[in-house]
Chain A
Amino acid sequence: MSVSYQIKKERNGKDVERKKVLEVNDLSKRYDNFLLSDVSFTLEEGRIVGMIGPNGAGKSTTMKLILGIIKPDQGNIIFQGDNRLFDDCKAYKEKIGYVGEATDFFSKCKLSGIKNFYKSFYRTWDDHYYAMVLERLQLSETYKMEELSKGMRVKFSLCLALSHKPELLLMDEPTSGLDPLIRNDILAILRDYAKDHHASIMFSSHITEDMEKIADKLLFIYKGKIIDKRATEELTGKGIAIDVHLENLIKGGERS
């Protein structure tokens, strides 16, 4: 197994060697009315990457490809030095946490039952950490899933996804439709988790404020293609709003 490293200049100007956790190369997937083509990017340890793009741009498809829910037509996904498309996906998935856009799964079941079912799949499950996050998010296990609001369901999903200590956390529009207070809670937990566990986080969102708050790097995706990749600082440092930059990229692409 070969693990590659990347030298990155940190915010304080120092060069820091960071392990590449995920490397996606030329990933493509064709549907009848949509083509995701040549998606390539890398994700380093302890970094938070935000994926931004309009509806139907290919954000969820990219997430599902990385997670192995759907198979790509071409390309490869290298996780911690191994090409995961040819390996046992179970061992790979054990190291990944996922919070999907729809969180009303097993709606008639109690949270404690769902938790016990979920934890049985992960050897690295940490009950203390779960209890701590649950308390921090002010959730109780006595509720049924259908009794929770959307914000609480996202919090619970996040709680599950973090408690098995994933090395890579994938979040598909976790903060859409949530009020600013809950969004801030969730972002704070994500930031702390990435910092404390040196985990990598990749999340997609339409909400550019969230990206500005926590993302180190941004991937702009449009019509199934990555149209730009850059550090968040590059934009915020120049006072360019992320949504304005995306709009300019889309307009520029359509003109050319």
Chain B
Amino acid sequence: MKNLLTKYILLNKKNIMFGVLATVVYSFISFDEQRFYPVALLMCPSLLFTFVVGKMCYMEDPDATQQFLLSLPITKRDLVFEKNIVSYLCIAAGVAIAIS
């Protein structure tokens, strides 16, 4: 599982940086006025999720990539579990950025 998580650092580093940057920028803009606070709480996790998990799903979508991943010593269940973990982490990080 740890190996699967390194995939994000090794192959999706740029999008993680863009995701964090977009989330931080959005949280600053929306905090100008208190009325945007609920929007920020919704948008920050969504942005981070899109850049990190969404992009990885897009990268893994082609048949060639799926075959490559399934030929590694992992199971389909590991791949699904890894996506769940990263999704929860993105939501938690997005909320943390929004409220900080």
Contact = CB atoms under 8 A, between A and B. Distances in A.
A69 B70 contact: yes
Interface in A108-129: 108-109, 113-114, 116-118, 120-122
Interface string A59-101: 0000000010100000000000000000001111110101010
Contact of A104 (B62, B71, B75): B62
Given A100-B67, A106-B65, A114 B11 contact: yes
A94 B73 contact: yes
Contact of A118 (B63, B65, B67, B72): B72
Nearest to A113: B10
Interface residues of B, number: 19
Interface in B41-85: 59, 62-65, 67-75
B56 to A, nearest CB: 10
A93 B73 contact: yes
B73 A102 contact: no
A121 B73 contact: yes
Given A106-B59, A116-B10, A121 B72 contact: yes
Contacts of B64: 100, 102-105
Contacts of B68: 100, 105-106
Interface in B1-54: 3, 6-7, 10-11
Interface of B: 3, 6-7, 10-11, 59, 62-65, 67-75
